[in-house]
Amino acid sequence: MNEISFEDFLRVDIRTGTIKEVKPFPNARKPSWQLLIDFGPEIGMKRSSAQLTTLYAADDLLEKQVLAVVNFPPRQIANFFSEVLVLGLEQEHGGGVVLLQPERGVENGVRVS
């Protein structure tokens, strides 16, 4: 395990957001959804590509609150630019990714502390 300092951790900006739009992403190498996520007035709407198709249908994701890293540079995935990294836990043996979510609803844009 590689150790990091507490200051390194504080540089990772993890925020709450609500998924507002879900579209299929047929050009992705691995099955994925294209997400539009509302992070509140400070950050606004951001896009993400997320490999969540094993456990989540598009309708299951709409209005779901998630946690995401918002300060990575955009990453091009096929013909799409992913602006944030939605966080999840990958299950063993290809069981899919389980979203990390707040235990109860909070305002969009709240920073993990």
The percent of residues in the chain predicted with pLDDT above 90, rounded, is 92
Asked whether residue 51 is domain-assigned, the answer is: yes
pTM above 0.85, yes or no: yes
Task: Give the integer Cα–Cα distance in Å for 29 and 90.
Answer: 17
Asked whether residue 86 is domain-assigned, the answer is: yes
Task: Give the β-pairing of 65-69 and 85-86.
Answer: antiparallel
| Mean pLDDT score, 57-65 | 97
Task: Scan for tokens 């190498």, then name that residue.
Answer: 29
* The pLDDT of residue 86: 98
* The pLDDT of residue 17: 98
- Residue 27: which CATH number? 2.40.50.140
Asked whether residue 63 is domain-assigned, the answer is: yes
Range of the domain at 42: 6-99
Asked whether residue 113 is domain-assigned, the answer is: no
